Structure 1
């Protein structure tokens, strides 16, 4: 999701650690191994630096796991070259071009949708494999033959909301369902309105929108409109410092008691913004810490524990990206053949931290599980339902 919901010192420390630990001691001791360069373009500064930190940590853990701690694939050492896009599309493109000019055949990242959509055509033009990161825009899916993704997309968020609505709808209920999208009147909010209408509209469901000026601090007028619509479900897509006020006002208006209110679970640091409303909100979740107990999740946690890190929303995306990089390097052979790498990833099935993943061959969407979560009495979110990949798959091809 595109929410700016940094921990600069931690990011700096991570960058230093990643530079030294992506290759094993054995790698450093040998100067004869062939090298495969991977460009990692993501945000380690700017409003989404915390997202970038999670992605980088997950990538490091995933690379360690996928190479069994060697940092090598078939004797070829993977060298990770990290760059900070700062959330700036122009900078991201410049960095990608720089690395491609240095004979980098694989680019991975970013956490920012606007950067990902600009790097994708550069990868296509230069016949370079691009594995996008947590950037959620649907526009990356199916954009070209060289672009893949290691995270979920907005469409999967909204399909998860639909699954939640269907799951919580009372058995035997009749009549039309009414969904209200509460968002800010900006590109992020409008995109969510469009996605909800596309996924939830029709089939007896009416979708309305209530948009607030991004600068608004008195949110009573917009929440009153939500209440007056008498929705069965409210889909909230909100970002910024007014989030706590928005949730409090919805609660005071009684909306949280009269409707199913669904929103996306963000990173750990955002949990307090719900305030007293947390027990009345239904959470769709890309990932929840502790959601799974498979081999990959355990490996990531063990790796994190040794470094004092905590898994978070986008840790699995980095882990996935590393697994995909390793598969691509293996298929690319000594020449790092891009065609062979892209062919190997199309239809690639692998277990990630979240569970089973499949790269859909026709458009490179990453089919993966999604979750419904809720807060416990201590303010910690936990999974209450898991939706399998086919239940929350995005529609084929590039979004309109």
Structure 2
């Protein structure tokens, strides 16, 4: 137990960039194929047949813009991979129309209406923000358009807010929690709390972690929800100190993360409890540096973990196109692109009802291995990872090394969808 304080620092540093938006990785340029990409103006796909229009909703200017960049890059490469580089399905060119929701639910609704009514897209894909994704589900229902969700992770999207038209290729926070809960309890600690932002993603994450920690034999003694625009976390951390849990699960997304982690350190929480979170993107690993070596945590995707031909292709093409490896949510974007093409090929059309039936139960090979979109709630089951950070030659950040790969079945979340 002597090293608990250092471990706490490590775990919080790991989530810093995973839950905090740093500078975007770069622009959303084309992938070198014949895809037409527009931003606010519908385009023509050329040829006699009209293009297949995919409306992409994501954050390009808000607090999750880094994730939006990863999403769009992955989507483009997934479409390229699934069409063997032609960007054509059924003899029709694929056109992406990308709109910026800035992780704002109201803006997301406005943008999705534009994509549906003005651009007349065939399919929708998005978004980085769970709040934005949940806000547009009624619009998707009304317009009867298929909406492929990735990377937004709130369980409600394919849970109590589920829709026959909404499918998710990304994981949800219940899958994260199932991956990490048994580890937490095995550490010998029993009493836990959640600290999370006070909006859909934070509440969903807290609910998921609470459920699986209880199932694993632990006890949840409370949740602390913090306004996402908070600039001083002192009162919330004081409540945590007063409660004296054995451990805390920290979930955060937003620009206040730097202040949050600084204040956690200043108030000595690291030495008083185990702090656990997910291992994030490459920026977070760089921020952690050598101090992260030896740390253990859960991971959604790191490019060196999956060993399969699809991931090998993704690494190679992403490096060629963007000069760096794929990141945390690139794999999810790619999975969405592959699923879209598979469903269109299976149905031979872009008819919404036909696509919905094709997506239900669809299994396909993606960058993490085998994905299966569960028919009951439209949630994709997929591999998840427990990793240890190690120092490796040639990397300027600690590298996630696999401890255990959990099967899609082992991390399958409860089915809480009652809509269909």
Identify whether the pair has TM-score above 0.5, normalized to the shorter chain: yes
* Distance across 2 between alignment mates of 1:132 and 1:288: 20
- Other structure's SS at 1:264 match: coil
For the structure 1 residues 329 and 220, does the alpha-carbon distance in structure 2 shift closer, same or farther, using more than 3 Å as the test?
closer
Higher helix proportion (structure 1 or 2) = 1
* Distance across 2 between alignment mates of 1:211 and 1:252: 15
Shift of residue 390 of structure 1?
0.5
Contact 2:54/2:97, CA 8 A, preserved across alignment? yes
Q: Does 1:195 align with 2:211?
A: no
Q: Which residue of 2 aligns with 1:282?
A: 296
* Distance across 2 between alignment mates of 1:314 and 1:286: 8
* Distance across 1 between alignment mates of 2:400 and 2:268: 19
Q: What aligned pairs does 1:76-91 form with structure 2 within 5 A after superposition?
A: 76-91=92-107
- Other structure's SS at 2:124 match: strand
Quick check: 79-88 or 360-369, which moved more?
A: 79-88
Q: Which residue of 1 aligns with 2:383?
A: 369
* Distance across 1 between alignment mates of 2:416 and 2:298: 23
Contact 2:154/2:205, CA 8 A, preserved across alignment? no
* Distance across 2 between alignment mates of 1:17 and 1:115: 25
Q: Which residue of 2 aligns with 1:327?
A: 342
Shift of residue 374 of structure 1?
2.2
Structure 1 residue runs of 5 or longer lacking an equivalent are 171-176
Contact 1:332/1:338, CA 8 A, preserved across alignment? no
Q: Does 1:379 align with 2:405?
A: no
Match of 1:241 among 258, 261, 264: 258
For the structure 1 residues 42 and 160, does the alpha-carbon distance in structure 2 shift closer, same or farther, using more than 3 Å as the test?
same
For the structure 1 residues 185 and 31, does the alpha-carbon distance in structure 2 shift closer, same or farther, using more than 3 Å as the test?
closer
Contact 2:206/2:223, CA 8 A, preserved across alignment? no
Q: Which residue of 2 aligns with 1:398?
A: 417
Greater relative CO (CA pairs within 8 A, separation 6+): 2
Aligned CA-pair RMSD: 3.1
Q: Which residue of 2 aligns with 1:271?
A: 285
Shift of residue 76 of structure 1?
1.9
* Distance across 1 between alignment mates of 2:223 and 2:104: 30
Contact 1:5/1:269, CA 8 A, preserved across alignment? no
* Distance across 1 between alignment mates of 2:181 and 2:283: 26
* Distance across 2 between alignment mates of 1:247 and 1:276: 20
Match of 2:125 among 73, 83, 108: 108
Shift of residue 178 of structure 1?
0.9
Shift of residue 246 of structure 1?
5.5
- TM-score when normalising by structure 2: 0.81
For the structure 1 residues 127 and 212, does the alpha-carbon distance in structure 2 shift closer, same or farther, using more than 3 Å as the test?
closer
- TM-score when normalising by structure 1: 0.84
Q: What aligned pairs does 1:1-400 form with structure 2 within 5 A after superposition?
A: 3-8=19-24, 10-11=25-26, 13-14=27-28, 16-17=29-30, 21-22=34-35, 31-101=47-117, 102-142=119-159, 143-165=162-184, 168=186, 178-184=190-196, 186-187=198-199, 189-202=202-215, 204-209=217-222, 211=224, 214-216=230-232, 221=238, 224-225=241-242, 228-229=244-245, 231=246, 233-239=247-253, 240-245=257-262, 248=265, 253-255=270-272, 259=274, 261-274=275-288, 278-279=292-293, 281-307=295-321, 308-334=323-349, 336-377=350-391, 378-398=397-417
Contact 1:283/1:372, CA 8 A, preserved across alignment? yes
Describe the superposition over 1:15-61 as per-residue Cα deviations: whole angstroms up to 9, x where unpaired: x325975269xxx9962344211111111111111000001111111
